């Protein structure tokens, strides 16, 4: 049975004591998954499409972290590219639409049994190389 859904702010609060992944690890994960559409959008964030939010901000990923029934920790976007258009998929207690889409399309990154790395990467570490003005951490 999957554990608690780790989307959004709930992840941020639960991860306060975790250390960040180092730059080489983040770069390695992105490089190893550079063929995935959502990773391309992470790497080329300035030229990537986005969804406009009601508060005026923009989103291109809205990452989620889940554990599969096999105990594999995966990171995947809840905003996906379908037919050249970004679409928000539902991922909450009632629906696993985004996770199902990620698994069927291969648009996820596996962290195996490493829960902490998956949570850290999915929360903010994938934005490590973005400037703060773009929602990153630099």
Give the model's confidence band at 128: pLDDT under 50 very low, under 70 low, under 90 confident, else very high: low
Which long-range contacts does 115-119 make (Cβ < 8 Å, 24+ apart)?
115/67, 115/73, 116/18, 117/21, 117/25, 117/73, 118/65, 118/73, 118/74, 118/75, 119/6, 119/11, 119/14, 119/15, 119/18, 119/65, 119/73
Which uninterrupted H or E stretch holds 37? helix 37-43
Nearest to 59 by CA among 31, 84, 78: 78
Give the model's confidence band at 125: pLDDT under 50 very low, under 70 low, under 90 confident, else very high: low
SS3 31: helix
pLDDT in tens, 17-70: 445 667 788 888 889 999 999 999 888 888 888 888 899 888 888 899 999 999
Which tokens sit at 16?
A: 């306060």
Q: Which pLDDT does position 64 carry in this prediction?
A: 94
Q: What pTM did the predictor assign? A: 0.78
Find out whether 67 and 113 touch, Cβ atoms under 8 Å. no
Find out whether 101 and 85 touch, Cβ atoms under 8 Å. no
């Amino acid at each position: 049975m999957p554990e608690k859904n780790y989307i959004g702010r709930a992840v941020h609060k639960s991860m306060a004591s975790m250390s960040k992944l180092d730059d080489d690890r983040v770069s390695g994960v992105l490089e190893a998954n550079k063929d995935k559409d959502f990773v391309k959008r992470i790497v080329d964030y300035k030229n990537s499409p986005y969804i406009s939010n009601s508060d005026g901000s923009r989103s291109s990923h809205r990452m989620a972290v889940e554990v599969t029934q096999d105990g594999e920790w995966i990171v995947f976007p809840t905003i996906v590219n379908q037919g050249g258009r970004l679409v928000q998929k539902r991922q909450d207690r009632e629906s696993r639409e985004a996770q199902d889409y990620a698994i069927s399309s291969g648009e996820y990154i596996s962290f195996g049994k490493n829960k902490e790395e998956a949570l850290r990467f999915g929360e903010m570490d994938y934005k490590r190389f973005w400037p703060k003005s773009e929602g990153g951490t630099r």
